[in-house]
Amino acid sequence: MVKRLLAVIGGVAAILAAVMLLRPTSTNPEEARTPWGEPDLQGLWTYEEEIPLQRLARFGNREFLTDEERAAIDKERAEILTRGAEVSDRRYERGTEQDVGGAYNAAIFTTHRPIGRRTSLIVDPPDGQIPPLTPEAQAKRAEIRAFQVALLQATDVCRNNLPGCAGGKYGPPSPRRADAPPHYLTVVGAGGPGGGGGVVNRANGPEDRNLGERCMGAMLPDFGGNTGFMLQIVQSPDSVAIFYDTAQGQGWQRVIPIRDGAHAPAHLRQWWGNSRGRWEGDTLVVDVTNFTPKTYFLGSYENLHLRERWTRLDAATIEYAVTIEDQAVWTRPWTVKQDYRKQDDFQNRIYKEPRCHEGNYGMAALLAGARTEERAFAAGRGPDPATKCNAGCGGFAFGFADTGDESNPLTR
Protein backbone atom coordinates (compact mmCIF):
# COMPACT_ATOMS: atom_id res chain seq x y z
CA MET A 1 0.00 0.00 0.00
CA VAL A 2 2.73 2.42 1.00
CA LYS A 3 4.69 1.60 -2.16
CA ARG A 4 1.62 2.23 -4.32
CA LEU A 5 1.00 5.53 -2.55
CA LEU A 6 4.59 6.62 -3.05
CA ALA A 7 4.36 5.68 -6.72
CA VAL A 8 1.23 7.81 -7.14
CA ILE A 9 2.86 10.74 -5.32
CA GLY A 10 5.94 10.40 -7.52
CA GLY A 11 3.80 10.39 -10.67
CA VAL A 12 1.92 13.51 -9.57
CA ALA A 13 5.21 15.23 -8.75
CA ALA A 14 6.55 14.43 -12.21
CA ILE A 15 3.42 15.87 -13.85
CA LEU A 16 3.63 19.04 -11.75
CA ALA A 17 7.30 19.40 -12.65
CA ALA A 18 6.47 19.10 -16.34
CA VAL A 19 3.72 21.71 -16.00
CA MET A 20 6.17 24.06 -14.29
CA LEU A 21 8.66 23.61 -17.11
CA LEU A 22 6.03 24.35 -19.77
CA ARG A 23 4.37 27.31 -18.05
CA PRO A 24 4.25 30.59 -20.01
CA THR A 25 7.37 32.65 -19.53
CA SER A 26 7.16 35.99 -17.78
CA THR A 27 6.79 39.18 -19.80
CA ASN A 28 8.94 41.00 -17.25
CA PRO A 29 12.64 40.62 -18.15
CA GLU A 30 13.57 40.85 -14.47
CA GLU A 31 11.31 37.87 -13.73
CA ALA A 32 12.23 35.81 -16.82
CA ARG A 33 14.05 33.16 -14.81
CA THR A 34 13.41 29.52 -14.13
CA PRO A 35 12.56 28.36 -10.59
CA TRP A 36 16.20 27.22 -10.28
CA GLY A 37 17.52 30.69 -11.18
CA GLU A 38 18.66 30.46 -14.80
CA PRO A 39 17.47 32.79 -17.58
CA ASP A 40 14.16 31.45 -18.90
CA LEU A 41 14.46 30.76 -22.63
CA GLN A 42 11.26 28.72 -22.81
CA GLY A 43 8.43 29.24 -25.25
CA LEU A 44 7.90 29.70 -28.97
CA TRP A 45 10.31 31.89 -30.90
CA THR A 46 10.86 32.96 -34.50
CA TYR A 47 12.62 35.68 -36.44
CA GLU A 48 10.37 38.48 -37.69
CA GLU A 49 12.69 40.26 -40.12
CA GLU A 50 14.39 39.07 -43.28
CA ILE A 51 18.15 39.57 -43.43
CA PRO A 52 20.45 37.99 -46.03
CA LEU A 53 23.17 35.69 -44.77
CA GLN A 54 25.84 37.59 -46.72
CA ARG A 55 26.06 41.36 -47.25
CA LEU A 56 25.56 42.81 -50.71
CA ALA A 57 28.76 44.32 -52.08
CA ARG A 58 27.18 47.76 -52.41
CA PHE A 59 26.92 48.06 -48.61
CA GLY A 60 30.65 47.51 -48.05
CA ASN A 61 31.44 47.30 -44.30
CA ARG A 62 28.17 48.94 -43.23
CA GLU A 63 26.52 46.79 -40.58
CA PHE A 64 23.12 48.51 -40.57
CA LEU A 65 20.64 49.97 -43.05
CA THR A 66 18.94 53.31 -42.56
CA ASP A 67 15.18 53.38 -42.06
CA GLU A 68 14.86 54.97 -45.51
CA GLU A 69 16.83 52.16 -47.15
CA ARG A 70 14.75 49.52 -45.42
CA ALA A 71 11.53 51.18 -46.54
CA ALA A 72 12.77 51.42 -50.14
CA ILE A 73 13.75 47.74 -50.29
CA ASP A 74 10.45 46.66 -48.70
CA LYS A 75 8.56 48.80 -51.23
CA GLU A 76 10.42 47.35 -54.21
CA ARG A 77 9.93 43.76 -53.02
CA ALA A 78 6.22 44.36 -52.41
CA GLU A 79 5.80 45.82 -55.90
CA ILE A 80 7.48 42.81 -57.51
CA LEU A 81 5.31 40.38 -55.54
CA THR A 82 2.16 42.40 -56.25
CA ARG A 83 2.85 42.33 -59.99
CA GLY A 84 3.34 38.60 -59.76
CA ALA A 85 0.01 38.14 -57.99
CA GLU A 86 -1.96 40.44 -60.29
CA VAL A 87 -0.46 39.74 -63.70
CA SER A 88 -1.35 36.24 -64.80
CA ASP A 89 1.24 36.13 -67.59
CA ARG A 90 4.19 37.16 -65.39
CA ARG A 91 6.12 33.99 -66.05
CA TYR A 92 8.65 32.44 -68.35
CA GLU A 93 7.48 31.46 -71.80
CA ARG A 94 4.66 28.97 -71.37
CA GLY A 95 5.66 25.37 -71.86
CA THR A 96 9.33 25.93 -71.08
CA GLU A 97 11.10 24.04 -68.32
CA GLN A 98 11.76 27.35 -66.56
CA ASP A 99 8.01 28.05 -66.52
CA VAL A 100 7.28 24.68 -64.95
CA GLY A 101 10.18 25.07 -62.52
CA GLY A 102 8.76 28.33 -61.16
CA ALA A 103 5.13 27.32 -60.82
CA TYR A 104 5.33 25.72 -57.36
CA ASN A 105 7.22 28.57 -55.73
CA ALA A 106 5.51 31.55 -57.39
CA ALA A 107 2.05 30.27 -56.46
CA ILE A 108 2.50 30.35 -52.69
CA PHE A 109 4.96 33.19 -51.99
CA THR A 110 3.07 36.46 -52.29
CA THR A 111 4.43 38.12 -49.14
CA HIS A 112 7.73 38.23 -47.26
CA ARG A 113 8.92 39.39 -43.86
CA PRO A 114 10.01 43.05 -43.62
CA ILE A 115 13.70 43.84 -44.04
CA GLY A 116 15.77 43.95 -40.85
CA ARG A 117 18.27 46.61 -39.81
CA ARG A 118 21.37 44.49 -40.32
CA THR A 119 22.86 44.30 -43.79
CA SER A 120 23.80 40.67 -43.19
CA LEU A 121 23.45 37.95 -40.60
CA ILE A 122 27.22 37.53 -40.75
CA VAL A 123 28.86 39.95 -38.29
CA ASP A 124 32.40 38.57 -38.52
CA PRO A 125 34.30 38.98 -40.82
CA PRO A 126 33.41 42.70 -40.84
CA ASP A 127 32.62 42.65 -44.56
CA GLY A 128 29.67 40.35 -43.89
CA GLN A 129 30.95 37.66 -46.26
CA ILE A 130 31.61 33.96 -45.76
CA PRO A 131 35.43 33.58 -45.64
CA PRO A 132 37.22 32.19 -48.70
CA LEU A 133 37.23 28.45 -49.24
CA THR A 134 40.38 26.46 -48.67
CA PRO A 135 42.12 25.14 -51.81
CA GLU A 136 40.74 21.65 -51.08
CA ALA A 137 37.15 22.94 -50.75
CA GLN A 138 37.52 25.02 -53.92
CA ALA A 139 38.67 21.94 -55.83
CA LYS A 140 35.73 19.90 -54.53
CA ARG A 141 33.25 22.59 -55.45
CA ALA A 142 34.75 22.90 -58.94
CA GLU A 143 34.48 19.14 -59.49
CA ILE A 144 30.82 19.10 -58.54
CA ARG A 145 30.04 22.18 -60.62
CA ALA A 146 31.79 20.78 -63.69
CA PHE A 147 29.73 17.60 -63.38
CA GLN A 148 26.50 19.58 -63.00
CA VAL A 149 27.02 21.73 -66.09
CA ALA A 150 28.17 18.70 -68.13
CA LEU A 151 24.77 17.11 -67.50
CA LEU A 152 23.03 20.36 -68.47
CA GLN A 153 24.97 21.12 -71.64
CA ALA A 154 22.46 19.60 -74.09
CA THR A 155 19.45 21.41 -72.55
CA ASP A 156 17.80 24.74 -73.28
CA VAL A 157 19.40 26.07 -70.09
CA CYS A 158 22.77 26.10 -71.86
CA ARG A 159 21.32 26.76 -75.32
CA ASN A 160 19.83 30.03 -73.99
CA ASN A 161 22.80 30.79 -71.72
CA LEU A 162 20.67 30.93 -68.58
CA PRO A 163 22.25 31.35 -65.10
CA GLY A 164 22.00 27.62 -64.41
CA CYS A 165 24.63 27.00 -67.10
CA ALA A 166 27.16 29.47 -65.67
CA GLY A 167 30.60 28.02 -66.31
CA GLY A 168 29.32 25.63 -68.99
CA LYS A 169 28.42 25.73 -72.67
CA TYR A 170 25.83 24.29 -75.02
CA GLY A 171 26.68 21.09 -76.84
CA PRO A 172 25.69 17.48 -77.46
CA PRO A 173 24.89 15.18 -74.50
CA SER A 174 28.00 14.71 -72.38
CA PRO A 175 29.57 11.25 -72.03
CA ARG A 176 29.71 12.06 -68.31
CA ARG A 177 26.01 11.23 -68.09
CA ALA A 178 27.13 7.67 -67.42
CA ASP A 179 29.49 8.68 -64.60
CA ALA A 180 28.75 8.56 -60.90
CA PRO A 181 28.64 11.94 -59.11
CA PRO A 182 32.15 12.93 -57.98
CA HIS A 183 30.96 13.56 -54.42
CA TYR A 184 27.97 12.88 -52.19
CA LEU A 185 25.16 15.23 -53.24
CA THR A 186 23.11 17.13 -50.71
CA VAL A 187 21.23 20.33 -51.58
CA VAL A 188 19.63 21.99 -54.58
CA GLY A 189 21.89 24.02 -56.83
CA ALA A 190 25.63 24.28 -57.03
CA GLY A 191 26.13 24.12 -53.31
CA GLY A 192 25.52 27.76 -52.47
CA PRO A 193 28.10 30.24 -51.21
CA GLY A 194 30.05 27.64 -49.29
CA GLY A 195 30.43 25.04 -51.99
CA GLY A 196 29.22 21.52 -51.42
CA GLY A 197 26.94 19.74 -53.84
CA GLY A 198 23.38 19.59 -55.11
CA VAL A 199 21.20 17.59 -57.42
CA VAL A 200 22.28 16.95 -60.98
CA ASN A 201 20.21 16.95 -64.18
CA ARG A 202 19.62 13.23 -64.10
CA ALA A 203 17.59 10.67 -62.18
CA ASN A 204 19.52 7.41 -62.54
CA GLY A 205 18.95 6.67 -58.86
CA PRO A 206 18.35 8.34 -55.50
CA GLU A 207 22.06 9.22 -55.41
CA ASP A 208 21.37 11.88 -58.07
CA ARG A 209 18.79 13.66 -55.91
CA ASN A 210 19.12 15.95 -52.91
CA LEU A 211 18.18 15.58 -49.26
CA GLY A 212 15.38 18.13 -49.52
CA GLU A 213 13.48 15.89 -51.92
CA ARG A 214 13.40 13.32 -49.14
CA CYS A 215 12.33 15.87 -46.51
CA MET A 216 15.80 15.80 -44.96
CA GLY A 217 16.97 19.28 -45.90
CA ALA A 218 16.91 20.87 -42.44
CA MET A 219 20.35 21.60 -41.00
CA LEU A 220 22.21 23.00 -38.00
CA PRO A 221 22.75 25.89 -37.73
CA ASP A 222 19.34 26.82 -39.08
CA PHE A 223 18.80 30.46 -40.05
CA GLY A 224 15.30 29.92 -41.40
CA GLY A 225 14.25 30.65 -44.95
CA ASN A 226 11.20 31.19 -47.09
CA THR A 227 9.26 28.16 -45.91
CA GLY A 228 8.62 28.84 -42.24
CA PHE A 229 10.65 28.69 -39.05
CA MET A 230 9.67 28.31 -35.40
CA LEU A 231 11.53 27.19 -32.28
CA GLN A 232 10.05 25.73 -29.14
CA ILE A 233 12.42 25.70 -26.16
CA VAL A 234 11.87 23.71 -22.96
CA GLN A 235 14.30 23.77 -20.02
CA SER A 236 15.14 21.65 -17.02
CA PRO A 237 18.00 22.07 -14.55
CA ASP A 238 20.20 19.63 -16.50
CA SER A 239 19.15 20.10 -20.13
CA VAL A 240 17.65 22.40 -22.74
CA ALA A 241 15.46 20.85 -25.46
CA ILE A 242 14.76 22.69 -28.73
CA PHE A 243 12.22 21.68 -31.36
CA TYR A 244 12.79 23.18 -34.82
CA ASP A 245 9.70 23.52 -37.03
CA THR A 246 11.39 24.42 -40.28
CA ALA A 247 11.57 23.89 -44.04
CA GLN A 248 7.94 23.06 -44.80
CA GLY A 249 7.45 20.67 -41.94
CA GLN A 250 10.91 19.10 -41.78
CA GLY A 251 10.76 19.30 -38.00
CA TRP A 252 13.46 17.93 -35.75
CA GLN A 253 14.63 18.29 -32.17
CA ARG A 254 17.80 18.36 -30.13
CA VAL A 255 18.49 17.90 -26.42
CA ILE A 256 21.44 19.85 -25.03
CA PRO A 257 22.88 18.41 -21.80
CA ILE A 258 23.94 21.11 -19.33
CA ARG A 259 27.10 19.71 -17.85
CA ASP A 260 30.85 19.91 -17.93
CA GLY A 261 32.67 17.10 -19.65
CA ALA A 262 33.92 15.86 -22.95
CA HIS A 263 31.87 15.26 -26.06
CA ALA A 264 30.91 11.76 -27.14
CA PRO A 265 33.84 9.72 -28.53
CA ALA A 266 34.95 10.82 -31.99
CA HIS A 267 33.67 7.64 -33.65
CA LEU A 268 30.10 8.36 -32.49
CA ARG A 269 28.63 10.65 -35.15
CA GLN A 270 25.16 12.24 -35.04
CA TRP A 271 23.13 13.92 -37.79
CA TRP A 272 22.69 17.09 -35.73
CA GLY A 273 26.03 16.82 -33.99
CA ASN A 274 26.81 16.23 -30.32
CA SER A 275 25.95 19.22 -28.12
CA ARG A 276 27.34 20.17 -24.72
CA GLY A 277 25.97 23.24 -22.90
CA ARG A 278 26.96 25.39 -19.97
CA TRP A 279 25.89 28.74 -18.53
CA GLU A 280 28.27 31.70 -18.69
CA GLY A 281 26.45 34.28 -16.60
CA ASP A 282 23.10 34.75 -18.31
CA THR A 283 24.18 33.21 -21.65
CA LEU A 284 23.72 29.58 -22.63
CA VAL A 285 26.90 28.49 -24.42
CA VAL A 286 26.70 25.33 -26.52
CA ASP A 287 29.58 23.53 -28.21
CA VAL A 288 28.61 21.20 -31.08
CA THR A 289 30.87 18.64 -32.76
CA ASN A 290 30.72 15.03 -34.06
CA PHE A 291 28.60 15.61 -37.17
CA THR A 292 28.28 12.81 -39.71
CA PRO A 293 30.04 12.68 -43.10
CA LYS A 294 26.61 13.11 -44.73
CA THR A 295 25.51 16.07 -42.63
CA TYR A 296 25.68 19.20 -44.77
CA PHE A 297 26.11 22.91 -44.06
CA LEU A 298 27.37 25.11 -46.92
CA GLY A 299 30.05 22.64 -47.94
CA SER A 300 30.96 21.46 -44.44
CA TYR A 301 30.36 17.90 -43.28
CA GLU A 302 31.83 15.87 -40.41
CA ASN A 303 34.41 18.52 -39.43
CA LEU A 304 31.81 21.20 -38.72
CA HIS A 305 32.31 22.82 -35.31
CA LEU A 306 29.75 25.25 -33.83
CA ARG A 307 29.98 27.49 -30.77
CA GLU A 308 26.50 28.82 -30.02
CA ARG A 309 25.47 31.57 -27.60
CA TRP A 310 21.82 31.97 -26.56
CA THR A 311 21.11 35.21 -24.64
CA ARG A 312 17.72 36.55 -23.58
CA LEU A 313 18.07 40.28 -24.19
CA ASP A 314 14.62 41.25 -22.91
CA ALA A 315 11.16 39.83 -22.41
CA ALA A 316 10.57 39.51 -26.15
CA THR A 317 14.02 38.78 -27.62
CA ILE A 318 16.65 36.05 -27.67
CA GLU A 319 19.93 36.83 -29.42
CA TYR A 320 21.37 33.75 -31.12
CA ALA A 321 25.04 33.97 -32.06
CA VAL A 322 27.01 31.12 -33.59
CA THR A 323 30.66 30.88 -34.60
CA ILE A 324 31.15 28.40 -37.44
CA GLU A 325 34.43 26.62 -38.08
CA ASP A 326 35.73 23.94 -40.40
CA GLN A 327 39.42 24.20 -41.19
CA ALA A 328 38.96 21.86 -44.15
CA VAL A 329 36.44 24.23 -45.79
CA TRP A 330 36.99 27.87 -44.72
CA THR A 331 40.19 29.80 -44.18
CA ARG A 332 38.93 31.23 -40.88
CA PRO A 333 35.96 30.93 -38.48
CA TRP A 334 32.95 33.19 -39.06
CA THR A 335 30.10 34.40 -36.86
CA VAL A 336 26.38 34.94 -37.40
CA LYS A 337 23.89 36.79 -35.18
CA GLN A 338 20.12 36.49 -35.38
CA ASP A 339 17.34 37.76 -33.09
CA TYR A 340 14.37 35.55 -32.23
CA ARG A 341 11.14 37.18 -31.10
CA LYS A 342 8.76 35.69 -28.53
CA GLN A 343 5.47 34.35 -29.89
CA ASP A 344 2.24 33.65 -28.06
CA ASP A 345 2.50 30.13 -26.63
CA PHE A 346 -1.16 29.35 -27.18
CA GLN A 347 -2.08 31.14 -30.41
CA ASN A 348 0.92 29.71 -32.28
CA ARG A 349 0.91 26.03 -31.42
CA ILE A 350 3.11 23.87 -33.60
CA TYR A 351 2.93 20.24 -34.63
CA LYS A 352 5.63 18.00 -33.22
CA GLU A 353 5.31 15.45 -36.00
CA PRO A 354 7.24 16.49 -39.14
CA ARG A 355 4.69 16.94 -41.92
CA CYS A 356 6.90 16.89 -45.02
CA HIS A 357 6.02 13.75 -46.99
CA GLU A 358 6.92 14.70 -50.55
CA GLY A 359 9.83 12.29 -50.65
CA ASN A 360 7.83 9.25 -49.52
CA TYR A 361 6.30 8.65 -52.95
CA GLY A 362 7.90 11.40 -55.01
CA MET A 363 11.26 9.66 -55.27
CA ALA A 364 9.82 6.41 -56.62
CA ALA A 365 7.60 8.33 -59.05
CA LEU A 366 10.49 10.49 -60.26
CA LEU A 367 12.71 7.48 -60.94
CA ALA A 368 9.85 5.60 -62.64
CA GLY A 369 9.18 8.63 -64.84
CA ALA A 370 12.83 8.80 -65.84
CA ARG A 371 12.79 5.13 -66.89
CA THR A 372 9.61 5.74 -68.91
CA GLU A 373 11.24 8.62 -70.76
CA GLU A 374 14.28 6.47 -71.53
CA ARG A 375 12.10 3.70 -72.96
CA ALA A 376 10.12 6.18 -75.05
CA PHE A 377 13.31 7.65 -76.51
CA ALA A 378 14.71 4.20 -77.29
CA ALA A 379 11.48 3.39 -79.15
CA GLY A 380 11.57 6.65 -81.11
CA ARG A 381 8.55 8.08 -79.29
CA GLY A 382 10.15 10.90 -77.33
CA PRO A 383 13.09 13.29 -77.00
CA ASP A 384 16.47 12.32 -75.64
CA PRO A 385 16.20 12.69 -71.82
CA ALA A 386 19.67 14.28 -71.91
CA THR A 387 18.13 17.31 -73.67
CA LYS A 388 15.51 17.87 -70.95
CA CYS A 389 16.07 19.74 -67.70
CA ASN A 390 14.79 18.54 -64.33
CA ALA A 391 17.27 20.28 -62.01
CA GLY A 392 18.94 23.69 -62.11
CA CYS A 393 16.57 24.94 -64.82
CA GLY A 394 15.90 28.38 -63.33
CA GLY A 395 12.60 30.23 -63.18
CA PHE A 396 10.70 32.26 -60.64
CA ALA A 397 11.57 31.23 -57.06
CA PHE A 398 9.82 32.42 -53.90
CA GLY A 399 7.94 35.00 -55.97
CA PHE A 400 11.05 36.47 -57.64
CA ALA A 401 12.80 35.89 -60.97
CA ASP A 402 16.33 34.50 -60.89
CA THR A 403 17.75 37.52 -62.78
CA GLY A 404 16.81 41.03 -63.85
CA ASP A 405 14.47 43.67 -62.45
CA GLU A 406 12.05 41.05 -61.14
CA SER A 407 14.72 39.36 -59.00
CA ASN A 408 14.94 39.74 -55.23
CA PRO A 409 16.54 43.10 -54.28
CA LEU A 410 18.28 41.30 -51.39
CA THR A 411 20.27 39.16 -53.83
CA ARG A 412 21.38 41.68 -56.45
The reply to whether 349 falls in a domain is yes
pTM: 0.84
Which mean pLDDT values do the consecutive 10-residue runs of the chain (412 residues) have? 39 39 49 91 93 92 94 88 58 64 58 88 96 95 91 92 88 94 66 51 87 80 80 96 84 91 92 96 97 90 97 96 98 98 80 69 88 96 92 69 76 78
Q: Tell me the C-alpha to C-alpha distance, in Å, between residue 233 and each of 62, 64, 186, 217, 368.
A: 33, 29, 28, 21, 42
Q: How many domains does the chain contain in total?
A: 3
What confidence score (pLDDT) does residue 103 get?
Answer: 56
Q: Based on the domain organization, do 354 and 242 belong to the same domain?
A: yes
Q: What local confidence, expressed as pLDDT, does residue 118 receive?
A: 95
Output the domain CATH number for residue 299.
Answer: 2.40.128.20
Domain assignment present for 4: no
The answer to whether residue 337 is domain-embedded is: yes
Q: Are residues 170 and 80 in the same domain?
A: no
Do residue 354 and residue 258 come from a single domain?
A: yes
- Does residue 273 form part of some domain? yes
Domain residue limits at 78: 66-115
Q: Are 393 and 387 in contact (CB under 8 A)?
A: no
Predicted local confidence at residue 4, as pLDDT? 43
- pLDDT (0 to 100) of residue 84: 59
* 241 and 354 fall within a common domain: yes
Instruction: Decide if 406 is inside a domain.
Output: no
Write down the pLDDT at residue 381: 95
Residues 279 and 349 placed together within one structural domain of the fold:
yes
- Verify that 277 and 238 share a domain, yes or no: yes
Regarding whether 280 and 324 lie in a shared domain, the answer is yes
Predicted pLDDT at 261: 83
Clarify whether residues 136 and 96 are in a common domain: no
One domain for residues 154 and 190: yes
Do 306 and 374 have their domain in common? no
